[in-house]
Amino acid sequence: MTPGEIREEILDILRDIAPDDDITDIDDDKPFRDQLELDSMDFLDIVMELRKRHRVQIPEEDYPELASMTSTVTYLEPKMKDL
C-alpha cells in the first residue's frame, strides 16, 4: 500500500470507531487524541481493526508510534508495503 492508501485506510477505521467525530479536517501532525474523542479502548480498536483487516501485528511497545496520522503512516508503511 502507498502512504496515501494507508492514510485512507486509517481514516476509514477512524470513521468506524468515532462516527460522531468530524475527521474531514484532521491535522496529520497533531495527535489523534488532541483532535478526536478517542479513549484508550478506541485506540485499541484501531490496533485490532488493523490486525483484522490487514494482519498487521503491532506490539504494545510500538503503540506510541500511532499517535498522529503522520507517525501512523510512517510506522505502517514498511509493514503494509506488500498489501
Q: What angle do CA 23, 28, 67 make, to 5 degrees?
A: 95
pLDDT per residue over 4-49, tens digit each?
A: 999 999 999 999 998 988 898 999 999 998 999 888 899 999 999 9
Number of domains the chain contains: 1
**What pLDDT, on the 0 to 100 scale, is given for residue 59?**
94
Determine the structural domain holding residue 37 and report its residue range: 3-80
CATH code for position 50? 1.10.1200.10
Residues 75 and 19: their CA atoms lie apart, in Å, by: 24
Q: What angle do CA 49, 55, 60 make, to 5 degrees?
A: 70
Check whether 70 has a pLDDT greater than 90. yes
